[in-house]
Chains A and B, each alone.
Chain A
Amino acid sequence: MMWAVNTAAGVALLLLLVVRKNYRVYPAFTFYIFVNVAVAASLFIVYRLWGFSSTVSWRIGWATQAVTVCARAWAVIEICRRFLSRYQGIWALARRVLLACAGLVLLYSGVAVRHQWKLALPTVDRALELAIAAVIVVLFLFARYYGLRPERTDRSLALGLCLYSCFRVLNDTISDRYLYDYAKVWNLLGMLAFFASLVLWTWALRKSQRETAAEEKLLPLGVYQSFAPQINLRLQLLNDQVNKIFSSEVTRH
Chain B
Amino acid sequence: MSLALILFFGSVAVLLLGLGWALWKPWEQKNIDSDPRWLEGRDQRHTNYLPQIRQALAAADYDFLSKRASRGTQRRVRRERLNVALAYLGALRGDFESLLRMARVIAALSPEVDAAHEFERLRLTAEFAWRYQMIRWKLLTGMTPLVQLAGLSDLVSGLSVRLEQAMKELGERAAVAAELASSMNRRGMGTV
Chains A and B are bound partners = yes
CB of A219 within 8 A of CB of B109, answer yes
Q: How far is the CA of A141 from the CA of B126 in the complex (A)?
A: 14
A216 at the interface (CB under 8 A from B): yes
- Given A137-B15, A144-B27, A234-B99, verify A169-B8 contact (CB < 8 Å): yes
B55 at the interface (CB under 8 A from A): no
Closest Cβ–Cβ distance, residue A163 to chain B (whole Å): 8
- Given A166-B15, A241-B92, A243-B131, verify A224-B155 contact (CB < 8 Å): no
Closest Cβ–Cβ distance, residue B165 to chain A (whole Å): 10
Set of chain A residues within 8 Å of B19, measured between Cβ atoms = 136-137, 140, 159, 162
CB of B138 within 8 A of CB of A249, answer yes
Q: How far is the CA of A108 from the CA of B102 in the complex (A)?
A: 36
CB of A88 within 8 A of CB of B131, answer no
CB of B110 within 8 A of CB of A144, answer no
B71 at the interface (CB under 8 A from A): no
- Given A232-B121, A249-B138, verify A126-B8 contact (CB < 8 Å): yes
CB of B8 within 8 A of CB of A170, answer yes
Q: Which of A141, A152, A231 meets B102, CB within 8 Å?
A: A231
CB-nearest residue of chain B to A248? B151
CB of A89 within 8 A of CB of B107, answer yes
Set of chain A residues within 8 Å of B170, measured between Cβ atoms = 230-231, 234
CB of B166 within 8 A of CB of A173, answer no
Majority SS at the chain A contact face? helix
Q: Which of A152, A159, A170, A221 meets B111, CB within 8 Å?
A: A221
For window 137-192 of B, CB contacts with A under 8 Å fall at 138, 143-144, 148, 151-152, 155, 159, 162-163, 166-167, 170, 173, 177, 180, 187-192
Set of chain B residues within 8 Å of A248, measured between Cβ atoms = 148, 151, 155
B134 at the interface (CB under 8 A from A): yes
CB-nearest residue of chain B to A170? B12
B63 at the interface (CB under 8 A from A): no
Q: Write the A171-196 contact mask toward B (1 if CB under 8 angstroms, else 0).
A: 00110110000000000000000000
CB of B124 within 8 A of CB of A130, answer no
CB of A140 within 8 A of CB of B23, answer yes
Closest Cβ–Cβ distance, residue B47 to chain A (whole Å): 10
Q: Number of B residues contacting the other chain (C-beta, 8 Å)?
A: 75
CB of A149 within 8 A of CB of B191, answer yes
Interface size class of A (residues with CB under 8 A): 35 or more
CB of B110 within 8 A of CB of A219, answer yes
Q: How far is the CA of A152 from the CA of B177 in the complex (A)?
A: 28
For window 73-132 of A, CB contacts with B under 8 Å fall at 86-90, 92-93, 96, 108-109, 112-114, 126, 130
A15 at the interface (CB under 8 A from B): no
A49 at the interface (CB under 8 A from B): no
Set of chain B residues within 8 Å of A225, measured between Cβ atoms = 114
Q: Which of B112, B143, B180 meets A89, CB within 8 Å?
A: B112
Q: Which of B11, B18, B135, B144 meets A141, CB within 8 Å?
A: B18
Set of chain B residues within 8 Å of A114, measured between Cβ atoms = 2, 4
Set of chain B residues within 8 Å of A224, measured between Cβ atoms = 106-107, 110, 112-114
CB of B103 within 8 A of CB of A231, answer yes
- Given A232-B120, A245-B152, verify A238-B131 contact (CB < 8 Å): no
Closest Cβ–Cβ distance, residue A172 to chain B (whole Å): 8
CB of B8 within 8 A of CB of A130, answer yes
CB of A219 within 8 A of CB of B113, answer no
Closest Cβ–Cβ distance, residue A82 to chain B (whole Å): 14
B60 at the interface (CB under 8 A from A): no
Q: How far is the CA of A126 from the CA of B155 in the complex (A)?
A: 53
Chain A to chain B contacts (Cβ below 8 Å), 27 pairs: A87-B109, A88-B112, A90-B108, A93-B113, A109-B8, A140-B19, A144-B21, A145-B104, A147-B30, A148-B32, A148-B189, A149-B192, A162-B15, A177-B5, A218-B110, A221-B110, A228-B113, A231-B106, A234-B167, A235-B128, A237-B163, A239-B127, A241-B163, A245-B131, A245-B155, A246-B131, A246-B135
